[in-house]
A and B are shown apart, each in its own frame.
Chain A
């Protein structure tokens, strides 16, 4: 065992990379759930985003186009969920599960010709002086733009929900859709927009895995990250900054346990591998013991003519 192999600076820098896919997917789902919709299709939208982003990046040679395509792909898949739950008024849980299964199958089909290819590398931020600073440089100033974008989205979501009228209306729709309708707000339209946003965020999160974190395409490569993101939203009590905290905690533990495995710690690999899940959930359960609660209309079908 040689713990001195583990470089704390690199550890922190890489945990931010490991956390970003979860962070993006979770913040999108947070907005969806705050609008009162439970979309369990996050995993399906992520993997669809992963292959859309990968394919377009490979074909165009531009990672930027790749990420745009990933967001579009995730949003288009979420349109299917919109059609089922907002137009046909189907059950949200069943529709979400179907979306995940559909997304996994669709991505395998789309990805058939892309196994074994390498995507174009995403350039990293390189600010003279700042990026070269010891410790602070690698942690804060040497990442890819999408990672910063994820943090900006969290901050923007928090500000939107807390300070703006649009955020207030979104929360109102998630809290009591009948009352919001009676006051003249377009419940379905607001929810559709939220679901599309959630789909785009999940798509970005998926592409982050296939283009940056593990730059290649394999079937089912999101490997349950979408489900972690869903759990994270609940345990973060629907609060944006707690989602960030939870994602970084989970990412950190994932990276740490890989490092510990490499360092040959005398704990069975299985325990190490499960530790991020267990610890993240325990910490967030403790945090969520305050009186914050789910949006009251979460998962309920809204029918306007009542």
Chain B
């Protein structure tokens, strides 16, 4: 066994009302790829923030190579060789790549030298990147390269990665893993946070599992099944969503030759999209974020208008109808962005239930609102979907991401849609809640509704979808049955590796 790099002893951090970390201890060896596993709210982020100096622990201590280590701020952590790639990229859109990288360094060299070093490192690790491009114009995969190169330029001893693969295609993930393995072979330890268990099994040497802020177990991922790890995370037996195979019914929703421009400057236009969804069927739509997913949802929900016959519901052209008219016909949707798009952050859950439910649930009459009925509807969502909140009077903003997601999906499912369109239904939701949402979607399809599920989580699509199609630069591939589809084929449908190449050193 190689030498110990970082030892964490009894780290505790409490926030008002919740203990984020409760006496967490584990060790990371030099060159080790160490996974940190846990559901949302298990305390993974708080833990790495303490290691990176963003949060101070209440008690406990850390030892770096046997010496006490207590970074007062990220600067100090970086000086000690700890680098971090953030889950939500910490990049500045209006600045260029070199400026972004300079901001993450203590003593950056002059811009010209820095640009040269960026080129060197990016070539060494197979992550091509032009130092003078504006970050706002880069794809998600390229943005992540900026973060990784920012870390690599500082010769880190420990690289912390918080859910790095959620925005990448399978091919890009493979290349990232080769880069990480190479780093690990050079002696850099990697602390890898993810809830994608199969990835952890391929990549990591050791895993620490957190549940409700406590270290509940360690394992060697290669020798443990994904199911066992999931159960360790959740603390109970996991229920796999069940589905009954059956022949699809008549076509419910049909898109024909749909082309629309994107309303935003950085968006992707949809190009000649044609697809049919039948009653009782779940159509999964994959693809890397920013390839037209938001636009597709908007054109289905009615936020973007299309030619009348480009969108047909039960054979009737509805392309020119707005969202409310489509809701009345039974075409409902739940967008990806929870705060601000799917829900109004500062309004209560009752008000949010009213916002999309008023038409189908009869919550208004001649322009007057029936608050009693709306509250009952909100309470029904909270109960049926196990939304953890003190009551329907709470503001949407006060809910955690996973709970609000359950509310947003539940609100649409309970309105008995004929066609439901969801974008990223389980994004940022923990394993047991995700399973519940997926089960609700499957139950809906069993009841005869057609469901379009747009997601970047391929495992999710493979689990619930009958057919799979991919969006790539606004074009939709022909759907294929998910049964028997391999991950390579999916990767190719999603457009391959976007110009990345394998590290060549």
Contact = CB atoms under 8 A, between A and B. Distances in A.
Q: How large is the interface on B (under 10, 10 to 19, 20 to 34, 35 or more residues)?
A: 10 to 19
A183 B95 contact: no
Interface string B69-84: 0000111001000000
Nearest to A297: B92
B86 A172 contact: no
Contacts of B91: 176, 179
A282 interface: no
B94 A182 contact: no
A171 B95 contact: yes
A179 B53 contact: no
A175 B93 contact: yes
Interface string A72-112: 00000000000000000000000000000000000000000
B54 A165 contact: no
B56 to A, nearest CB: 12
Nearest to A294: B94
Interface stretch (B25-33, B102-110, B386-394, B426-434): B102-110
B75 to A, nearest CB: 5
B148 to A, nearest CB: 15
B86 A175 contact: no
Contacts of A179: 89-92
A180 to B, nearest CB: 8
A296 interface: yes
A245 interface: no
B172 interface: no
B94 to A, nearest CB: 5
B86 A169 contact: no
A165 B102 CA distance: 9
Interface in A158-179: 165, 168-169, 171-172, 175-176, 178-179
Nearest to B78: A184
A179 B53 CA distance: 15
A43 B91 CA distance: 35
A169 B93 contact: no
Contact of A168 (B75, B90, B103): B103
A295 interface: yes
A178 B74 contact: no
B142 interface: no
A189 interface: no
A185 B73 CA distance: 9
A168 B54 CA distance: 21
Interface residues of A, number: 17
Nearest to B92: A175
Contacts of A183: 74, 90, 103-104
Given A168-B102, A182-B54, A184-B53, A176 B75 contact: no
A172 B101 CA distance: 12
Nearest to A291: B265
B99 interface: yes
Nearest to B72: A184
Given A168-B103, A182-B74, A183-B104, A175 B90 contact: no
Interface in B123-141: none
Nearest to B15: A305
Nearest to A182: B90
A184 to B, nearest CB: 3
A168 B92 CA distance: 11
Contacts of B73: 184
A175 B102 contact: no
Contacts of A169: 103
B496 to A, nearest CB: 30
Nearest to B150: A183
Given A182-B86, A184-B75, A172 B93 contact: no
A295 B94 CA distance: 8
Contact of A175 (B74, B78, B89, B94): B94
A182 B54 CA distance: 7
Interface in B332-391: none
A176 B78 CA distance: 20
B44 to A, nearest CB: 16
Nearest to A292: B94
A293 B94 contact: yes
Contacts of B93: 175-176, 296
Interface string B240-251: 000000000000
Nearest to B99: A168
B54 A296 contact: no
A183 B104 CA distance: 6
A293 B93 CA distance: 11
Contacts of B95: 168, 171-172, 175
Contacts of B99: 168, 172
Contacts of B86: 182
Interface centre among B73, B90, B108 (most CB of A within 10 A): B90
Interface centre among A169, A172, A179, A183 (most CB of B within 10 A): A183
Contacts of B108: 165
Interface centre among B74, B78, B94 (most CB of A within 10 A): B94
Interface string A178-195: 111011110000000000
Nearest to A305: B15
A190 B193 CA distance: 32
B102 A184 contact: no
Contacts of B74: 182-184
A176 B92 contact: yes
20 contacts: A165-B102, A168-B95, A168-B103, A171-B94, A175-B93, A175-B94, A176-B90, A178-B90, A179-B90, A179-B91, A179-B92, A182-B74, A182-B90, A183-B103, A184-B54, A184-B75, A185-B103, A293-B94, A295-B94, A296-B94
Which 5 pairs, one residue from A and one from B, show the smallest C-beta to C-beta distance? Answer: A184-B74, A179-B90, A175-B92, A182-B90, A184-B75
Given A175-B93, A176-B90, A184-B54, 5 more contacts: A168-B99, A180-B103, A183-B103, A185-B103, A296-B93
